[in-house]
Structure 1
Amino acid sequence: MNLDGAKIDFEKSAKVATRRKQSSHQFSNRTRLIILVSSITCLTTVYSNSLGLNFTVICMNDVVHEQSTPGEESNHWLRDPSQTSMLFSAIAIGSLLGSAPIMYFLEKYGIRFTVVSYGIISSIATALLPLAVEFGFIYVLLVRIFQGFSASFVNSIMGLISEKWSPLSEAGTFIALLSCAFQCGPIMTMPLAAFACESPFGWRLLYYMQAGISLVCHIFFFFFFRDMPELHRHVSDKELRKISTGRAPTAERTSVPYKEMCKDPCVIGIWLSVIGSNVGFFFSLYYGPTYMANVLGLNVKSTALATALPYIIAACLKFVVGPISDRLTLLSNKTRCIIFAAISQGFHAASIITMALTEDKLIARIAFTSGIAFCAVNIVGAFKCSQLHARQYVHFVMTVVSFSSCFITLFLPLLVSVMCPDNTPTQWSALLVFIASSIILMNLPFIFVANTNPADYTLAVEKSTTNGIHNT
């Protein structure tokens, strides 16, 4: 550990702290935990907003009846598989559009204003979706694009908040809990959708509930969050010291060193690892049930618990592996990241291969569930490595991850249609083996290039200052 760097960095923080007014309410030196909870709720609600249509599309029969003449209900856009597929793909298109300016907004306006701006867009778009349904398909498509646009910041902000607010001794726990938004989003949406669809108000109630909850969470975030702990009036000197301990002084430059990062072997290895993981995750998410139903003949019940089970297990795993990753100090940070990444993607690939080889319905369901669940472990593998190595520029690493996720979502339907034109068991097995092989091959480089030391471009050269994310 660089003790000199830690001392310099804390002295830097202390100088900034002297210019802030400290509140007498310091939450037992745990203000960072309120920041963590507030951040998780914002990320969760935005992600949940983008999932609403996935669950309410099955209970929107009233719209079909109102907008169709008798006998022509099958021609309605809610009954057209190609048009409903476009509505689901619109989230990925919106995410691509939203990811493009995220770097500019973070550097120009900082974390707080970026999160709140994207959150308000999400809340407004979600509240307008029932109205858009009344006007027709094109209007719903536009609203879905705005929902995807606003959800695009989740990956970038997740890493950046963790980098700013977590002590190094809690880095794994912080990033693991923040990433629970990807599991909490579906878990939150499913029961709300079930309640809304069964209520006298119908499916529209879901979107008004989601919009209201999201807006409240982002209003609280706006008033309580600050981009750096040094500027937060509720952060005590003791807590500030805890957050700053062990951190090397950061670079004075405010612009992201794109060229250096794109040439960094560790960053490239992280990108390859996450892309490989996401190919398998999105395939399991979108096509796992289709494979088991059409090829294995498995009757997948449309119950909230059955659908949510992989997400519940994944969230529980994150609560476990985060603290383990932080407290397993007998091993170096680099070794821990490599081990957790290998466990995550090794089990992930093995689960998909099991789905390809088995004809047993129970084994297939267990493999499907465990494959999605073990993806969560990589949050303290490649994702944690990105935070420790890229430091204040981790948002660029995660923005590229967001871009790649969008392309994967758009690419998978083409891959499935090419490799499984007849939906035969042989074709699906070949596709599953291809997916599992891709996961293994794309994760191998990370083992050799992983580096948890701060990259040279993140460090101060002449004098120590706080990094360039704006604060108010």
Structure 2
Amino acid sequence: MNTYNFTKICMQDDTSTMKANYTKSESNFLQSCVAIGSLAASIPFSVAFQHLPHKPVFIVAGIISGVSTGLVPLASTLGYGWFVTARIFQGMAFSATFPLAGSITANWATPFEHGVFIGLLTGNTQLSNIFTMPVSGWLCSSSGGWTSVYYVHSGVSLVTFSLFFLFFKSSPREHSWVGEKELETIERGKVAKKISRPKDLPFRHILTSLSLWACWIASFGDLITVQLVSQFNPQYMKNYLNYDVLSSGFLAALPIIFQFITKLSSGIISDRIKFINETLKAKIFNTIALAVAAVFFIVLAFIPQEKHLLAIIIMICAESVMGANTAGFNKCATLHSQQYSYFSMQQIMNIWACTIFIEPFFVNMIVKDNTFIDWRNCFLAHAILLLFVNTIFCFFADASPAKWTRLNNNNSEDVIVETSEKERYDTFAIEDTKL
């Protein structure tokens, strides 16, 4: 899905017969129309995750992703409408990623491993950009041109989903590599009765949860800024800082590498901290991800164009700390919604799709000529939004399991292992030492 974010800048310099001339509004729509596909596929994928094993559902998403990406060069020669259609299908595939991340965390993580699981699973966005930006820069500069970007990504997608098909199991109970002791450790302290039918989904409780709304609002501010990074870093590097295409690819990926390291580290650190409760931890990490990032963006806004190195360093700092969202709103949502994590994460996925659609028009409304004032106003606007949504999160977030996660169809309590947090932690500590 990220391929066009980079190829749009090398299409400008294309002199071959594959050259595609689009207006600014057409280019914006090509960049954002993946959100249409993601939102359109949201309900079908959500229903599929409710009714079907998660493995075949995600395999279908992988096939859609690989095939639609491989057909983009052909679609571009057939006409603008065909190009848009291929991009929409790329977005449809993306819609399945976050529900699977929530499901895996709920099924596979122990009560004290949510942070590291969410860090790794939601890190797919950083890992994809770390691959896409430098590889696309190299391919665009090669004899293969911009079309080779789509062929390579299509091939990689099909290979990785083949590996997924071979090794993934939806539940630890289904996996031959999981022993009895490991299974017991994974399942200890979880709700014993899993509810999966649509009529059992507590919509009223979920949609009136102030904590989940705080997570979703925080995710909007965070993800729209993430889109600034993933969609416009190449443009910022090439058209503002005046780097060539190849250098832009590697430099645009550099901050995202540090962001992924922060994302994974924050998840691990959050899981290891035991002397403060989960809600306070979520608020602290969310403030690092959003408020501290906002401060760096404010600084970046006032760095003059000729200070290339300083701008890149501050951008790395701003984008790196945003990785702490793993232990912020992401972890808070999964802990609060427990077995319904797939649904709460689906809404974050939908918000992500909305930000993909909004961001190109929002940024291009501000950045008209790639001037210092344009980028200053762009960074300041995102900083203000980050500060605002983080304030809402800190007021209303609650990372403790919601009461409605323990209710069955008859509104009675499900069977839960009655152990205190300290007792569970001591048990895990002993088992970790044995391992």
Residues 219/455 of structure 1: CA separation in 2 closer, same or farther (3 Å cut) = same
Verify: 1:54 aligned to 2:5, yes or no: yes
Match of 1:229 among 166, 172, 193: 172
Q: Which amino acid aligns with 2:213?
A: I
Q: Which amino acid aligns with 2:340?
A: Y
Verify: 1:359 aligned to 2:304, yes or no: yes
- The CA distance in 2 between the partners of 1:268 and 1:368, in whole Å, is 29
Match of 1:449 among 396, 414, 421: 396
- Show the 5 A alignment for 1:162-181: 162-181=105-124
Contact 1:285 1:372 in 2 (8 A): no
Residues 167/364 of structure 1: CA separation in 2 closer, same or farther (3 Å cut) = same
Listed one character per residue, the Cα deviations across residues 37-92 of structure 1 (whole Å, up to 9, x for unaligned) are xxxxxxxxxxxxx122333445558975426xxxxxxxx64354333332212222
Residues 282/129 of structure 1: CA separation in 2 closer, same or farther (3 Å cut) = closer
- The CA distance in 2 between the partners of 1:196 and 1:289, in whole Å, is 15
When the two structures are superposed, what TM-score results if normalisation uses the length of structure 1?
A: 0.77
Match of 1:433 in 2: 380
State the shift of 1:212 in Å.
2.6
Gaps of 5+ in 2: 417-435
Listed one character per residue, the Cα deviations across residues 365-409 of structure 1 (whole Å, up to 9, x for unaligned) are 333222222111111111011111111212222222222222223
Match of 1:258 in 2: 203
Q: Which amino acid aligns with 1:112?
A: K
Q: Which amino acid aligns with 1:232?
A: H
Match of 2:75 among 109, 117, 132: 132
Match of 1:327 in 2: 272
Verify: 1:113 aligned to 2:65, yes or no: no
Match of 1:310 in 2: 255
Contact 1:252 1:465 in 2 (8 A): no
Match of 1:395 among 342, 349, 353: 342
Greater Cα shift, 171-180 or 444-453 = 444-453
- The CA distance in 2 between the partners of 1:195 and 1:412, in whole Å, is 26
Contact 1:347 1:374 in 2 (8 A): yes
- The CA distance in 2 between the partners of 1:384 and 1:251, in whole Å, is 20
- The CA distance in 2 between the partners of 1:425 and 1:60, in whole Å, is 24
- The CA distance in 2 between the partners of 1:427 and 1:124, in whole Å, is 38
Q: Which amino acid aligns with 1:459?
A: R
Greater Cα shift, 317-326 or 343-352 = 317-326
Match of 2:323 in 1: 376
Residues 342/134 of structure 1: CA separation in 2 closer, same or farther (3 Å cut) = same
Match of 1:338 in 2: 283
Residues 393/208 of structure 1: CA separation in 2 closer, same or farther (3 Å cut) = same
State the shift of 1:191 in Å.
4.0
Contact 2:33 2:88 in 1 (8 A): yes
Gaps of 5+ in 1: 1-49, 68-75, 467-472
Match of 2:222 in 1: 277
When the two structures are superposed, what TM-score results if normalisation uses the length of structure 2?
A: 0.83
CA RMSD, 1 decimal: 3.0
Count, aligned residues: 407
- The CA distance in 1 between the partners of 2:151 and 2:234, in whole Å, is 30
Listed one character per residue, the Cα deviations across residues 314-350 of structure 1 (whole Å, up to 9, x for unaligned) are 1121232222111111222222211111111121110
Residues 465/444 of structure 1: CA separation in 2 closer, same or farther (3 Å cut) = same
Match of 1:43 in 2: none
